[in-house]
Structure 1
């Protein structure tokens, strides 16, 4: 007989997970220890959300914070009831429970409190008459009545626009609130304003946020919630449901049980096919095809790139196009290999910048001049460019290799110093090799922010050569790319003796976090210098990796 389990309490995050994947919700409730560990980058996202939430609260002066932690449910419910009874103009993190669902509402704003700020932000105007307010909606949508004593439900997000999943987030909260007898007038998304330009000092909560009225879309979702909750509760009362992996494992969020559900896959699973749509992955799994090796040779729904992946996996050897040397023949020496590291804070830290603007604080530049290699000629790079250990690492069969780097170590805007240093190091001749379009995007941002350098930066952009797009993606394929042409996948496949495994910082997200901690945090001077050293090693590895990849591609066609 099937065991009947006690149905756990749901929350808005658990409800969202249940909409995405029933198995994920079951695991979250019954086997949370199987979740993937929260890494440094994920924790930073949580911390960022907390910081944005605190700023949002400042837009509602006089609001009452229900500060009990999430595990003190009874106390939080009592504090919420007292604040409502006392007539608080706004509540932060208010707790409500109904039908087995507990929600903590980011902001609950009483109608008539701070309404001018909110109404202006959503493009509406109000006028009062008796116990009601008439609200004229923006866009000529007419007029509706707002009843005194009701509330605006406000969900705060660190994004700069509404996403589909935000509607269901608001819908489950409104459902619970109304079940508790709390009248909800509007369901609003309060997200960061992409057009907000930071000046200095404290952030302005009136300017930093924009409002999106999702009331209509939330209302359309409300009738579905009772049946969805019933399905989730029934599922949670039984054994773990059978769910095949698919696109839902990472959309709209990467599931915290991704590792658990993907264990036991074959060596080259179909999940590693590049640029696969949901339909293709679901179709392959329905047909019982789990390994790329098992895909029939003439399977109709594969793209040219996917067929190429299948071919190299089946044959067990890499592929290089016959025209690859012709493509590389367009490069002009000296060759510059450029990589930026950036920070992109949700809440800007430099005057004149907006949320999530990519700000470069570091670059690495390897320069390859045609001629004998460092290793074969016995010639060492200049002492002021590289130390002995670094010199040994950069011997190159394609010519003489030297290295330049820039890292801003102060809490001020790095761009005024970085731009001239970069332009000086790049000179005016020679191809500039980058990996993906990211560096071109950063250069465009720099030209927009500093028009006095625009002409020189545009000349630099005209010399760019995207190694990933022009060579790796279109003219190479290797079984160990694992469906990705990210440099982190390509490097160990084509240059197995070089990797990122020996570095203290091994990806860009961690580089950003460590930089922020060194420059804006409370790190000691010793910790700061260690971080700066690690950053230089990581960024330098990115550009050295491009050099080695270029070598490997040449070697593939001339040996």
Structure 2
């Protein structure tokens, strides 16, 4: 049996997921955010290699770009024989059980293993499993493992002029925690499951969907569920949904007599499941919202990046940094819809340029509409606290922000096509079904926020032609977001008239 630390952790999380990875990998659906997180993790691993000083990396790649495991194992043995102090990507194999140690550090009594994660936390169970597996493999290969550590970001670190690796990273000792993991028994069970060509039966649970992110096999595993199912119910945790499902409540309408129908949005979702043509419109509620708006009316949307490694002075890990905005605006009632936009230069801190341009582009008396406005308001207040010269103007802009999501969050308008969500990506197609103007998939290059945050920092390293093309794609994506907000506002006005 061939196994790796990632496959071991996958098996510990869900036996069916591990089985599907072997027998039905084509069913895996990775989203842009997951791929961006993976890419960030690789970059952080490379950076952490130098945290203890000079090191030897034993990575060897084949012509197709995949690791040459046999050569990496050979190089690892050579470096250990030399007494090399720090070996990165040290590779070991025990009867098909493979692992590459991010950092292998020589000690008086053997070697300590360091696993690098792009996170501020060290408390996830999968981190313990990961290190326990590595210790097991190395021990079987004859290495005395003298300590197991998780390397992660220091949550209290703020970058100065230069990046300080000794302060950026923390190595948390996990040596005691991994002793509670019986890797050998787990591997026996994994071998039994993975040798069996029959798909294992596993109940739905917390690891299927978490924080709005689904397991990449969710689409496959849920294919036989009714549509919509209880798992589509909004604002409930996965364990609660699973409990309802296994108690016999499998469809949304079956939940109407439960305590979970007390929430207005959930109840509307349940009613739509009972009658898909059901439409709920509270004109008084919508009108009250519209009456709170005034001209000039500005529609604002930011794009941000959230680098784990602080790129600029004064930044902490995973700070959200706005690098772009789009503004559609109407100066007076019945006026023409106009547009402004700004995309900061890549390769330097964009925040001051963003702050300055916002103050130039948005009048102090403007009513500013944003969707999920706490985000935009928070970013503007953050800019205000960073740049005193723009503080008063930025605070005024933030104070004038109104949330376009409000009438939907408050349940003033609901149709079945919203699927329990009030996010703009669900409200827009519900209000404008099949409208090609709002088909994000038809855009070139950038189709969602995850792709935007991934590609923006790369512009600094592109040639001029590619950079201009990518900038145009980012501007087109962000422009569509604010145009969508204009159309949603117009639709609300139309409903009330």
TM-score (norm 2): 0.89
Corresponding residue of 1:109: 105
Question: Which residue of structure 2 aligns with residue 387 of structure 1?
Answer: none
What is the CA distance between 1:320 and its match in structure 2?
Answer: 2.7
| Alignment equivalent of 2:27, drawn from 28, 34, 58 | 34
Distance 1:400 1:62, change over 3 A: closer
What is the deviation of 1:302? 4.0
Could you tell me whether the CA contact under 8 Å between 2:280 and 2:414 is conserved in 1? Answer: yes
Partner SS state of residue 10, structure 1: coil
Return 64-73 or 51-60, whichever deviates more. Answer: 64-73
- Note the residue ranges of structure 1 that are not aligned, 5 or more in a row: 1-7, 112-147, 373-398
Looking at structure 2, the residues matched to 285 and 23 of structure 1 have their Cα atoms a distance apart, in angstroms, of: 19
The 5 A counterparts of 1:427-446 are 427-436=363-372, 437-446=374-383
Residue 310 of structure 1 pairs with residue 270 of structure 2 = yes
Alignment of 1:146-157 (within 5 A): 148-157=108-117
CA distance in 2, matches of 1:179, 1:527: 50
Matches within 5 A, 1:456-475: 456-468=393-405, 470-475=406-411
C-alpha deviation, 1:410, in angstroms: 4.7
SS at match of 2:481: helix
Q: In structure 2, do the counterparts of structure 1 residues 506 and 254 end up closer, same or farther at CA, with 3 Å as the change threshold?
A: same
Give the conservation status (yes or no) of the 8 Å contact 1:280–1:301: no
Local SS of the residue matching 1:420? helix
What's the counterpart of residue 193 of structure 2? 235
Please, which of 542, 549, 555 is the counterpart of residue 481 of structure 2? Answer: 542
Give the stretch that moved more between structures: 256-265 or 445-454.
256-265
Alignment partner of 2:199: what SS?
A: coil
Structure 2: where are the runs of 5+ without partners?
Answer: none
Q: Secondary structure at the match of 1:248?
A: coil
**Could you tell me which residue of structure 2 aligns to residue 502 of structure 1?**
442
Task: Tell me how large the CA RMSD over aligned residues is.
Answer: 2.5
- State the secondary structure of the residue aligned to 1:323: helix
Shift in Å, 1:264: 4.3
Match status 1:366 vs 2:328: yes
Mapping of 1:62-101 within 5 angstroms?
62-69=54-61, 72-98=68-94, 100-101=96-97
Deviation digits for residues 164-220 of structure 1 (CA, Å, limit 9, x no counterpart): 12222222222322333323332211112344444456x43223212222223223x
Q: Which among 469, 475, 480 is matched to residue 530 of structure 1?
A: 469
> 1:515 corresponds to which residue?
456
Q: What's the CA shift for 1:296?
A: 4.5
Per-residue CA shift, 1:202-250, capped at 9, x if unaligned?
Answer: x43223212222223223x23x333322222211121220224443223
2:490 is aligned to 551
Shift, 1:403, TM fit: 1.6
For 1:205 and 1:324, the matched residues in 2 are separated by 52
Task: Name which one, 1 or 2, has greater alpha-carbon Rg.
Answer: 1
Q: How does 1:150-549 map to 2 (within 5 A)?
A: 150-164=110-124, 165-200=126-161, 203-219=163-179, 221-222=180-181, 224-238=182-196, 239-251=198-210, 254-293=214-253, 295-304=254-263, 305-316=265-276, 317-321=278-282, 322-372=284-334, 399-436=335-372, 437-468=374-405, 470-475=406-411, 476-496=413-433, 497=435, 498-499=437-438, 500-504=440-444, 505-518=446-459, 520-522=460-462, 524-549=463-488
Could you say what secondary structure the match of 1:247 adopts?
A: coil
TM-score relative to the length of structure 1? 0.80
